Structure 1
Amino acid sequence: MNIRERMEGEKLPMKLLLLADPSEEIVKEYVGRGYCYLTEIQQEIVGVYVLLPTRPGTIELVNVAVSEELHGRGIGKELVTDAIGRAKSKGYKTIEVGTGNSGIGQLALYQKCGFRITGVDMDFFIKHYNEEIFENGIQCRDMIRMALDLT
């Protein structure tokens, strides 16, 4: 498995990115402002994550996705771990992540990687997305905010 930064002009793996965020418009906007990393296995892109600088000393992990047929193999954890390492090597003091209240697996993954819950953006997904989102039989309404101190 190889994780590398997306090259300028390289086609976005939109199908993968949309697994983690259903709005193509929103995805294109933040990918354009951030760092996009691709995960390859035998030259096939099977994972992606995006780091987005937000404030001085802080970067946000805004999208983490792995091909559905490869779920449960630890690739997501490797991506999050890689993102933490890259954020630290770029000199950031804090890495943040936000995920939906219905993302039970994601909430567990981020906590296993050391993130702590710092807040809740009530009705975030109701206000910012045109269509209702359901995951694990739960309506995704609120953004659970988490952070990890890198110092």
Structure 2
Amino acid sequence: MFIRKLKIDEEPPIDLLLLADPSRVIVEEYLQRGECFVAESDNQLIGVYVLLPTRPETVELVNIAIIETQQGKGLGKQLVMNAIEMAKLKGFRTIEVGTGNSSIGQLALYQKCGFRIVSVDTDFFTRHYPEEIFENGIQCRDMIRLSQDL
């Protein structure tokens, strides 16, 4: 897998980004302010992540997705680790990520990659998303915030 920054003249992979965040409006908003990185294998786009500076010395991993046919192969962990390294190279001192309370696999993944749970934004998804979101048979209501010092 080869990971690179999205070129200025390239269209971001919206369909792939929408796998991780169902709001096109929110995705397009953070794409304008953040940096998008894509993962390719055999000339096929298989993954994406977006880094968004949020405060001095702090960056947030606001989206990370792998195409469905390639999920469960450890590629998500490679993308997270690449995002951490990219954040270090860019001089950030902290990287943050948020995920839904119902995102059991993602919560495990982020903790395996060194993130620690730091807070819960109660009712984030019910406040910011018009449609109810269900995952793993659980309604996604709260944003679980995780952080890692770099």
Which TM-score bucket, shorter chain as reference? over 0.9
C-alpha distance in structure 1 between counterparts of 2:58 and 2:44, whole Å: 31
Q: What residue identity is the alignment partner of 1:47?
A: G
C-alpha distance in structure 1 between counterparts of 2:11 and 2:46, whole Å: 14
CA shift for structure 1 position 119: 0.1
1:37 has 2:37 as partner = yes
String of CA shifts for 1:102-135, please: whole Å, max 9, x gaps: 0000000000000000000000000000100000
Which runs of 5 or more residues in structure 1 are unaligned?
none
Q: How does 1:104-123 map to 2 (within 5 A)?
A: 104-123=104-123
SS in 2 for 1:114: coil
TM-score normalised over the length of structure 1: 0.98
String of CA shifts for 1:74-127, please: whole Å, max 9, x gaps: 000000000000000100000000000000000000000000000000000000
**Superposition misfits of 4+ residues, deviation over 2 angstroms:** none
CA shift for structure 1 position 12: 1.3
SS in 2 for 1:72: coil
1:132 has 2:132 as partner = yes
CA shift for structure 1 position 43: 1.1
Q: How does 1:72-83 map to 2 (within 5 A)?
A: 72-83=72-83
2:7 is matched with which residue?
A: 7
C-alpha distance in structure 2 between counterparts of 1:51 and 1:66, whole Å: 16
1:60 is matched with which residue?
A: 60
1:96 is matched with which residue?
A: 96
- RMSD across aligned positions (CA): 0.5
1:69 has 2:48 as partner = no
The percent of aligned pairs where both chains have the same amino acid is 65
TM-score normalised over the length of structure 2: 0.99
SS in 2 for 1:99: strand
C-alpha distance in structure 2 between counterparts of 1:53 and 1:106, whole Å: 21
SS in 1 for 2:126: helix
Q: What residue identity is the alignment partner of 1:9?
A: D
CA shift for structure 1 position 9: 2.3
Q: What residue identity is the alignment partner of 2:119?
A: G
